[in-house]
Amino acid sequence: MLKIVPDPPLSPELSTLLEDLLIQVSERLFSAIAVTHQNALLQATSSGRGLSLATMHELEAASTLVETALGKIQVRH
């Protein structure tokens, strides 16, 4: 289904709320990446290390998406 009418711009209140939430998510992802990195360094087995590195990779990808969303919100201000 094609959408003919574009979405209205976000209200300033909603935009600020969304930006605050994304910043909190970004901070938590940063912490999770740091913990996972430390866990990967402490793993004795290569399979455990591989799982930690894979988790770290996924967290970094999620962090990149959040940063991209933040950039799009800040451009609208």
* Closest C-alpha to 19, from 53, 67, 56, 64: 67
Domain hosting 44: range is 14-76
Average pLDDT over residues 40-45: 90
Is 33 inside a domain boundary?
A: yes
For residue 11, name the pLDDT band (cuts at 50, 70, 90): confident
Give the helix/strand (H/E) hosting 21. Answer: helix 12-42
Is 3 inside a domain boundary?
A: no
- Averaged confidence pLDDT in the chain: 88
Domain total of the chain? 1
Is 44 inside a domain boundary?
A: yes
Please give the model's pTM, rounded to 2 decimal places: 0.77
- Report the distance separating Cα 13 and Cα 30, nearest Å: 26
Is 32 inside a domain boundary?
A: yes
